[in-house]
Amino acid sequence: MNIFEIDGPCKLSGTVEISGAKNAALPIMAAAVLGNGKTLLESVPDIADIRTMFELLDSIGVKCKRLENGKVEVDASSIDNPVGDYDIVRKMRASFCIIGPLLARCGQARVSLPGGCSSFGHRPVDIHLKGLRALGAEISIENGYVTARVPEGGLVGTEIFLGGTNGPTVLGTANVLMAASMAKGTTVLEYAACEPEIQDMAIFMKKMGAKISGIGTQTLTVEGVDELKPVEHRIIPDRIEAGTFMVGAVMTQSQITISNCCPEHLRAPIDCLRQMGTRICVDKDSMEVSHTGKIRPAHLTTQPYPGFPTDLQAQFMAMLCLASGNSFITEKIFPERFSHVAELNRLSAEINKVGSSVVISGRETLLGAPVMASDLRASAALVLAGLAAEGKTIVNRVYHIDRGYEDIVSKLQALGAAIERKHIDD
């Protein structure tokens, strides 16, 4: 088993380059299935979730090959097994994105109900299936698998409302958009997710020949086409990785430069940090972040994009443990996403959970201790807390962070952090 050992408090300085966005790369790799031939993707992070997608695509007959400098070739010339097997799909929720393009390309699909981060609570795929059914797909669920078929007349465009209890569904939008791209006629997706990752996928699909308008809004209009072609595309930078390093600079009272990023994708976190006293100088594709002195408390509520992202909630919670006063965070996207609270409290934080909110009583210092990561973003929060804490922090179950952060130990070491990955016997 691998662990991270951190000796804090650390001071960071220098420049960190942000990798391609995991949450854009995964659905785009699924969308590559729509094109008969070889698609070339650039800036694809080398992380566990991407390797899982490689495994899934390989199992359906698509050949994936990692090239040099973050490039990946996806050869969808042949699909001979339109099945998303449980042993693969259970590892990662984004695997379910394969059902939409398989329906469009092959006319059928059999995909296991998804897995992923279990600490978020119940996350059904009912809106995915509602959208696919609205297009005419015949769907049944049996033995933990979703079986979907295109009727004799093909998929047919229609108006589909994609809203759920906690806002638009990101992966559901991706799935239905991919299926609609090759349906007959016009499809209008109302209350669609407009996250940058969905925008990037839609732009990629337009390069392939899809006719999509309204990109970046909550209404997407799709004119179905008969076929899509393979193309070349560069994945956008990972806004969540960039936000994580921004928080790291604040927590360690440091100044760092974050390169290869899209500041426009981080308007809500940037605004929040500035109100907390952080100095942020923004350029077109880079940011200089520095913080000295007290961290002002804050009131945050996670919301669909362009609101404050749920994927930065845990990191900001770790930072607010060091604020000069009481802070409040309300989780509107995944109301049960608070598994990191108990672990942060092990580091001498003072956090109290009340329903879907937490109250954080800021203190001057955190104290190192052994902690256990429970999901991807929670593990990042614990690493950040360890960088700021006095003494040694051991982060267990770091396979969670390996799912979404490319080479995070080396990046932090290059900034001056005293962090090491070590292997211990189970």
Residues flagged as binding site for UDP-N-acetyl-alpha-D-glucosamine: 93, 311, 333
106 is catalytic: no
Nearest to 343 by CA among 301, 308, 314: 314
Catalytic residue among 10, 117, 194, 261: 117
3-class SS at 10?
coil
Counting beta carbons within 10 angstroms of the beta carbon of residue 198, is it exposed (0 to 12), middle (13 to 18) or buried (19 or more)?
buried
Give binding residues for phosphoenolpyruvate as ranges.
Answer: 22-23
Nearest to 344 by CA among 311, 375, 378: 378
The DSSP result for 161-193, as a single string, is: E-EETTEE-HHHHHHHHHHHTTSBSEEEEET--
The partner residues of 288 in beta bridges, in order of sequence, read: 257, 281
CA atoms within 13 A on the CB side of 398: 24
How far, in Å, are 100, 190, 356 from residue 97 at the CA level? 6, 19, 28
The DSSP result for 27-53, as a single string, is: HHHHHGGGBSSEEEEES---SHHHHHH
Estimate to the nearest angstrom the gap between the alpha carbon of 286 and the chain centroid: 20
Pairing of strands 357-361, 351-354: antiparallel
The conformation of residue 77, written as its DSSP 8-state character, comes to S
What number of other Cβ atoms are within 10 A of residue 295's Cβ?
22
How far, in Å, are 35, 188, 196, 221 from residue 217 at the CA level? 25, 12, 10, 10
Cβ distance 131 to 175 under 8 Å?
Answer: yes
How far, in Å, are 125, 192, 330 from residue 303 at the CA level? 20, 14, 9
Give binding residues as ranges.
Answer: 22-23, 93, 311, 333
Q: How far apart are CA 412 and CA 388, in angstroms?
A: 13
Nearest to 302 by CA among 287, 315, 289: 315
Cβ distance 41 to 15 under 8 Å?
Answer: no
Catalytic residues: 117
